[in-house]
Structure 1
């Protein structure tokens, strides 16, 4: 599928590459291209593209506020479906902190927490293991706040029964 950005026609992989190359957000032109690319990807309203968008996260970015725009974009096109968000998180090795921010936002929503075990059960093993590792890390960092929710998630997963 092709999409026009300016005078160019780009497919989703090319837009993913733009997000990756501009994710440090070091210049105003990087920020503008990054934001425009996010908007273009969102215009497809395809939750599968969350995986491509996750490539655009980077822990050492120069502009966290703009990076939060990507969090909101993922939440917007993902809607009630967490599956593609969880698949995408596994691709965020250079953005572990952003992965945890996404998970914190889910863990702070009781309705979202209820969905997580079945989503986790549907994930490929490598994605499931990575998310479990992140959840355990979050639990260790803020036991009082998140242990109950994380224990619920892990206890409800079929793979743990």
Structure 2
């Protein structure tokens, strides 16, 4: 184990100051390095036996206090915690209410029972949509070749 002397600390600080002055070290670089080292130090949560666990719990509480975790994710973690504790997983119960009854007509529809004014007329001059037939292929089989729709062939 080495002992750090005040001269070593002054040399290290001078080295950092030179790197910053020369542009080899920027605040963004320092933040990235700090983030990497903090993630390596406290980013992996082992559990209650870890000496950093209390600090990790404090950090987690701070994240929750500022709303850093969405509600949906919190609900998922709550379900995981309850499952680990042995509580039964609650499944939403189906709606047992019967559907609302719908009254059906008691009289069969006939020309006498139909309200003529309620029927909307279709325009008489509406043209039918044109029938588009695909072009024939010279080398393809056409099962409808020679068949004329419409008139009967029997006489």
What is the TM-score of this pair, normalised by structure 1? Answer: 0.26
Higher helix share: 1
Structure of higher RCO (CA pairs closer than 8 Å, 6+ residues apart):
1
Q: Which has the larger radius of gyration?
A: 2
More strand by proportion, 1 or 2? 1
